[in-house]
Amino acid sequence: MNEVSKLNEKYYITTAIPYVNAPPHVGHALEFLQTDCLARFHRSLGKDVFFLTGTDENAQKNVLAAEKKGMGVQELVDENTNFFRKTIDKLGISYDDFIRTTDKKKHWPGAKKIWEECVKSGDIYKKSYEGYYCVGCEAFVTDKDLVDGICPEHKKPPEKITEENYFFKLSKYQDELEKLIKNDEVKIIPETRKNEVLSFIRSGLEDFSVSRPKERMKGWGIPVPEDPSQMIYVWFDALINYISGLGYGSNDKLFKKYWPADLHVIGKGIIRFHAVYWPAMLLSAGLELPKSIFVHGYVTINDQKLSKSLGNVIDPNEIIEKYGLGSVRYFMLREIPPFSDGNFSEKALVERVNNELVANIGNFVYRTLSFIDRYFDGTVPKALEYTTEDKYLIKEIEKYPKIVKESLENIELKSGLKKILELSSKGNKYFQDNKPWELIKDNEGRCGTVLYICANLCRTLSILLYPYLPNSCKKLWKQLNLGGKTKGNVWDTASEFKIVSGHEIKKPETLFKKIEKNKEISNEEVEKNMISFKDFKKMEIRVGTVKEAERVDGSKKLIKMQVDFGDFQRQVVAGLYPHYEPKELKEEQWIFMTNLEYAKLMGLESEAMILAAVEGKEEKVVCLKPEKEVEDGTRIE
């Protein structure tokens, strides 16, 4: 595909639309994040992406939830839809539109039009029916759907219902659906889910109910055209959001541009509706079918699905507040496999973030940029003749964007992130093996070559990591001083050395912060804690350079410092005045403890402790320094 046609290529991607009978949980967050990662990736390829999400508001679940709370149904769905929108925005989701199935101007015309098209095809008819109905699934179920008479999804028995409804002739499309799925004309990802769908189809498709009596729905939902005594069944109605969100039935401009969907992203519990019912409805209405359906697993706790009905939900907003958006995005996409279930654990989140995001990627980026800032006045040095070691890393930089791209194209999100970590690890090893802190003393030219390569690797990492951590990568892009928004296909430039000798970078800042527990201590304990400690063997003692230092307003003793430890930066607050003026501390190396619990002094977080001793009768505080200049972050045993 040439560059011009590639830039004009459209890509339409959707999430499922969740019920709003309750606020969102981290299971919803997973789907939003997976879809956002894929949407951002395809935008970075220069495609014209349209990303739709929204809420399913016409369900019987919502009616029952409102009754339980003593609220009006509209009041309930408005409240919870607002929670969903706020959560989606807090997760940094780059959606282009948000569809609500209660939207009478945008959604209802499309739902009614599809109904009428299916009627024209002779595929909708009315009959009496008796069967078992699971409110959690919003579907009639049979014995083969149950385990010991219980719905395996919602852990409750269904209720027996007898009523007259409209039905859709799903059985009419059995052979055609089997052929379409088998030949990947509607591609189901992964293959195991495709086989599951084929097995369901081959077991024999039965016509399904597409309406509910108005009385049972308490008048809530979309009335059946020409028969207001019936309401359109929520799953028939909800699936239509994928085209009504593009204006089908009201304004077809976007529909003509973006349909068919390139990818529907859904959870495994609703695969039947998307891979069987939805294609059959589209065939009946004479519309094109979606190209692909990606079926993800569940977020679990102790291997049990998160579910509002099971009462084991976790609020993603609370997790973001506690650990930060970058940490949550990274963990969810790194820990949870895209095609199977994965456990959520705050302990695992902390370990992943600290050991991978901070210690690997953050470490490499900060070391590189802070070294350029400190020893080359923030200007990328010139590269001289490449060594075998240089050529190896350059080859890896050329190779990995293709590997990560392939992972993302195959929706192997966890694998793609793992490959990015591998490349960053190679950068860390290269930096450590070449020891620029020693080269700068007697071989500045060689030191410059190492940093030139590392600076360009930072650019590569910012592109590869962007779909996963957009805010952090924008921050890195800004530190690299690479300008504003990037248009077109930036991905295919990821392996190129676009940062040239003489390019000025901005002031380096820590991209990812280590997660540690906070501990509040009083101001009276400052000096005691600063100079009193036991059992040095348990302490992590490192050398760091104070980059910034200033007095703390309102304090007679406190000085706030920003300390560079080579692969990370921390804020340290200590009672050093009047023993030291801030200018005496700045640009000097000192010795710190870095594995203590964080403390707060006058509301300021102190993330390490400077080591000091008391001298003479005047009890002058003297801070400890290394005997000679060493690399920032060097451990002292």
Closest CA to 28 of 80, 78, 87: 87
Question: Among all chains, which residue has been given the structure tokens 């970058």?
Answer: 326
Q: Is the pLDDT of residue 232 over 50?
A: yes
Q: Predicted confidence band at 216 (pLDDT cuts at 50, 70, 90)?
A: confident
107 is catalytic: no
Query: Where are the domain boundaries for CATH 1.10.730.10 in the chain?
Result: 345-493
Q: Is the pLDDT of residue 62 over 80?
A: yes
Query: What would you report as the CA-atom Rg of the chain, rounded to the nearest whole angstrom?
Result: 30
DSSP, collapsed to helix, strand or coil, labels residue 400 as helix
Q: Predicted confidence band at 4 (pLDDT cuts at 50, 70, 90)?
A: very low
CB atoms within 10 A of CB 21: 23
Highest mean pLDDT of the ranges 235-249, 527-541, 600-614: 235-249
The residue from 106, 296, 305, 560 that is catalytic is 305
pLDDT attached to residue 526: 39
pLDDT digits (tens, 9 = 90+) for 407-433: 999 999 999 999 999 999 999 999 999
* Superfamily for the 518-623 domain: Nucleic acid-binding proteins (2.40.50.140)
The residue from 28, 42, 61, 106 that is catalytic is 28
Cα(228)–Cα(422) distance, integer angstroms: 60
Question: For the chain, what percent of residues have pLDDT higher than 90?
Answer: 72
As a whole number, mean pLDDT of residues 327-342 equals 96
Kindly report which listed range (271-280, 303-312, 346-355) carries the lowest average pLDDT score.
303-312
CA 319 to chain centroid, in Å, comes to 13
Q: Predicted confidence band at 486 (pLDDT cuts at 50, 70, 90)?
A: low
Pairing of strands 304-305, 299-301: antiparallel
Q: Is the pLDDT of residue 537 over 50?
A: no
- 303 vs 222, more confident: 222
The residue from 151, 454, 473, 623 that is catalytic is 151
pLDDT attached to residue 2: 39
The residue from 42, 113, 308, 547 that is catalytic is 308
CA 382 to chain centroid, in Å, comes to 37
134 is catalytic: yes
As a whole number, mean pLDDT of residues 396-403 equals 97
As a whole number, mean pLDDT of residues 213-218 equals 89
The residue from 61, 112, 154, 405 that is catalytic is 154
DSSP, collapsed to helix, strand or coil, labels residue 8 as coil
Q: How far is CA 34 from CA 91, 353, 589, in A?
A: 11, 18, 44
As a whole number, mean pLDDT of residues 461-484 equals 94
Question: For the chain, what percent of residues have pLDDT higher than 70?
Answer: 89
Mention every residue, 6+ apart, whose C-beta is less than 8 A from residue 606: 571, 572, 573, 574, 598, 599, 600
Q: Is the pLDDT of residue 534 over 50?
A: no
CATH of 345-493, one of 1.10.20.10, 1.20.120.850, 1.10.730.10, 3.20.20.150: 1.10.730.10
As a whole number, mean pLDDT of residues 48-76 equals 93
Q: State which amino acid sits at residue 400.
A: Y
As a whole number, mean pLDDT of residues 470-481 equals 96
* Residue 211 exposed, middle or buried by CB count within 10 Å (0-12, 13-18, 19+): buried
The residue from 137, 458, 473, 623 that is catalytic is 137
Q: Is the pLDDT of residue 22 over 90?
A: no
Q: Is the pLDDT of residue 134 over 80?
A: no
47 is catalytic: no
Kindly report which listed range (149-153, 173-177, 191-195, 560-564) carries the lowest average pLDDT score.
149-153
pLDDT attached to residue 633: 85
- The secondary structure element, H or E, covering residue 356 is none
What mean pLDDT, rounded, does the chain reach? Answer: 89
The model's pTM is: 0.81
Q: Predicted confidence band at 621 (pLDDT cuts at 50, 70, 90)?
A: confident
Query: Where are the domain boundaries for CATH 2.40.50.140 in the chain?
Result: 518-623
579 is catalytic: no
454 is catalytic: no
User: Cβ(102)–Cβ(57) under 8 Å?
Assistant: yes
Q: State which amino acid sits at residue 407.
A: S
Q: Is the pLDDT of residue 632 over 50?
A: yes
As a whole number, mean pLDDT of residues 497-512 equals 94
154 is catalytic: yes
308 is catalytic: yes
The residue from 47, 106, 113, 134 that is catalytic is 134
Sheet containing 223-224, strands listed edge to edge, beginning at the edge strand earlier in sequence: 211-213, 227-232, 223-224
Cα(561)–Cα(574) distance, integer angstroms: 8
pLDDT attached to residue 304: 67
- The secondary structure element, H or E, covering residue 453 is helix 444-465
Pairing of strands 612-615, 620-623: antiparallel
25 is catalytic: yes
